[in-house]
Amino acid sequence: MADIGIHAPHGPDMSGRHPSTVTPQFAMDEDESRVFNRLLKPDDSYTSEGVYWADLNFFKRAKFVLKNDAAETSREAGNVWRMFKKDPLSPVAYYFRNMVLPGAGLGLEGHTWLAAIEYMEIVGIIVGQILVGVIGDWLGRRWGLIQDAVIMFIGLVMLVSMWGVTLNGWIICYVWSLFLYGVGVGGEYPMTATSGMENAVGSGKISTKEDRLHRGRKVTSAFLMQGWGQFFNQVLLILLLLIFHHGSGNPPYSKVAVQWTFRISFAIPAVGTLWLVYYRTYKMKSASKQLQLQKKKSNVTGYDTQSLKMTFYHFGGRMLATAGCWYMNDVFFYGNKLFQSEFIGIVTNHSNSIMPGWLYNLINVGVSLCGYYLASFLIDNKLYGRKHMQTLGFLMDFILFAIPAFNLEYYTSPEHITEFQAMYFLSSFFNQFGPNSVTFIAAAEVYPTAVRATAHGFSAAWGKLGALTAAVLYNYIDTQTKFYVVPWFGLAGVALSVLFLPDTTGLDLKEQERRWAFIRAGRAQEYHGVAVHPKHLSAWERFRGLSKQYDADLDYAQRVEEMRKEWEVMMQEKADEKAGHLDEQDWEDLDHEFSHEVHSYFKKTTNSPMLQGMEREKRSPTLNGQNGYSDNEVDEKRAV
């Protein structure tokens, strides 16, 4: 059996440095170089001269990015137009299938988000984020998605049907129902992020253009369903109250109106969640494919504890960024309620009606959705991307809270309430067009597949600890003090983002997995690819010297040789299965796995006597008594 380990083709030269160029095992002519360039240097990430986009100076980088973005926009617009001409509803169906359904769980979670900020709900969410994250890496993404939807459904049924003879009994039922539902809500975070991200990557040896250009958009589009859930929930609450309170939203509210409004608001998402159980059970059977491939490569059958330990050791700074920034962000997320309560109290003269608050919150959710969609539009842009988006969002929230904090009486006066309102809505916008969107994707993207759900769940749990901090703290300090305290969490978020968050915008996710293979094999220093490019590392990682490993030419030669080793291993395995020979289907499988051009090149240049013998055997008129095929005949069959 061939050695499947990862090897650098050459070590340092006599001076102790790695050579800038390395001659592969077999020298490639110009045509063969073009074959590998198409695979290893795709034109959406490399110039025609083979230069990686992040190696270009600012002006050349901007020109390259704008040109490629324009071409991709034109291509996508053309696809949409062709879909529309064939079937006017097909673009809507495509959006629903690829953007809505992956985030359906978060949409249903957001549907009840506005009910209350309860301690037990937050605790349940924390439990779900950690527990389901571990389950997702242990038993698989599909199992995590299914059991998570089941838990949410059971929790919603309990919320709809709960009852108590006394007020205390009713509250006890409510709290425990909310806790169980919260466990399901928490699990949606790691499972939606990991499954959505890995679905964009594809399953071949080489990553897809969809992954490189639109991975962030796909994940963020799923995440923004949380905003739509909040929007529809608020609309439903308003309509239900008007229906059962005889067209009025003003107090006093009858028990009948409150009971029907409350129970129906949970019953509707319960129906949607039951459908989600069905969909994830029967329509998402390949959700765990990427995880299974990685476990097979690492010879792991259960939970990969070794990868978890190594992740904390090698990516400790990233953990500080994803968990710490999420903590800071959720303090802001709930801090936005400060603006809302103060603003609504002034414009309604502190009315005890809940309807004005619901209406203004509906507007605020609409503003937030604008932030979500702009984030999905720019999150993959190489000139802006994840890190800049999160840093700017934290900075703007810091400013928007700091301004009224030190002149609260002025901005909360009736004469200046419009300025206060503007800052209120802008803080919501920049929270979504910034840390709230980026923390969700970064907490999955910067970690290896083996522990991706666990790392995301851990980071998200720290976020909910931030929410719990805000929920508890706000009960013990007055409004002025709250405004004094909250802005500094934004400034801390800026610092953590700048120092510890790597920028994975435009980074091939499979290239990051390739780097992890080196790390897990104890050969981290031998990796020289773009995953250690200074652009894709945090300031802390660059300070530690990781970017010095980057060597484009050496990495190119390594990747060719790695593909050769994978090809030889696959050839050997197929030969072992077929008692020493390969049939026509085997050769076609290899063509599919590595592309016909690469497969042909490796066949032509192999130095393995066994593989050369199989190639001669394949060309012979007969093969073990069966008719063989010439290369021309094989090519004709492929063409057919």
pLDDT tens sequence across 84-131: 999 998 988 888 887 777 777 677 666 554 334 467 788 899 999 999
Residue 383 in this model has a pLDDT that exceeds 70: yes
Is 27 a domain residue? no
Burial class (CB in 10 A: 0-12, 13-18, 19+), 441: buried
Predicted local distance difference test score (pLDDT) of residue 570: 78
267 and 347 belong to one structural domain: yes
Is 13 a domain residue? no
Range of the domain at 597: 567-639
Determine how many CB atoms are found less than 10 A away from the CB of residue 458: 24
458 and 320 belong to one structural domain: yes
**Which tokens in the block code for residue 311?**
């992740």
Predicted local distance difference test score (pLDDT) of residue 3: 39
Name the H helices within 251-352: 255-282, 289-298, 305-314, 316-347
Q: For the chain, what is the domain count?
A: 3
Per-residue pLDDT band for 579 (boundaries 50, 70, 90) equals: low
Is 230 a domain residue? yes
Q: What's the average model confidence in pLDDT over 364-384?
A: 94
Contacts of 440 (CB under 8 A, 6+ apart): 189, 193, 219, 220, 223, 460
Contact 272, 103 (CB under 8 A): no
pLDDT in tens, 19-57: 334 444 444 556 667 778 878 898 999 999 999 999 999
- Cα-trace Rg, the chain: 28
72 and 176 belong to one structural domain: no
Residue 265 in this model has a pLDDT that exceeds 80: yes
Amino acid at 330: D
Q: Rounded to two decimals, what is the model's pTM?
A: 0.84
pLDDT in tens, 414-428: 888 889 889 989 999
Closest CA to 182 of 118, 231, 260: 118
344: CATH: 1.20.1250.20
Predicted local distance difference test score (pLDDT) of residue 311: 95
Name the β-bridge partners of 622. 627
471 and 439 belong to one structural domain: yes
218 and 339 belong to one structural domain: yes
483 and 349 belong to one structural domain: yes
Residue 625 in this model has a pLDDT that exceeds 50: no
pLDDT in tens, 54-75: 999 999 999 999 999 999 999 9
- How far is the C-alpha of 575 from the C-alpha of 244, rounded, in Å? 72
Q: Residue 8 gets which letter from DSSP? A: -
Q: Choose the weakest-confidence range: 258-272, 328-342, 481-495, 544-558.
A: 328-342
Name the β-bridge partners of 626. 623
Q: Choose the weakest-confidence range: 21-25, 150-154, 242-246, 324-328.
A: 21-25
Q: In degrees rounded to 5, what are phi and psi of residue 46?
A: -130, 150
| Percent of the chain whose pLDDT exceeds 70 | 83
Q: What's the average model confidence in pLDDT over 516-530?
A: 94
Q: From residue 342, how far is each of 361, 369, 403, 432 by CA, in Å?
A: 13, 22, 15, 21
> Which of 172-186, 319-333, 592-606 has maximum average pLDDT?
319-333
pLDDT in tens, 3-21: 333 343 333 333 333 433 4
Residue 335 in this model has a pLDDT that exceeds 90: no
Contacts of 261 (CB under 8 A, 6+ apart): 237, 240, 241, 244, 245
Q: What is the mean pLDDT of the chain?
A: 83
391 and 425 belong to one structural domain: yes
- How far is the C-alpha of 451 from the C-alpha of 201, rounded, in Å? 17
Name the β-bridge partners of 627. 622
237 and 328 belong to one structural domain: yes
383 and 448 belong to one structural domain: yes
Contact 22, 557 (CB under 8 A): yes
Tell me whether the omega of the peptide bond preceding residue 252 falls within 30 degrees of 0, making it cis: yes
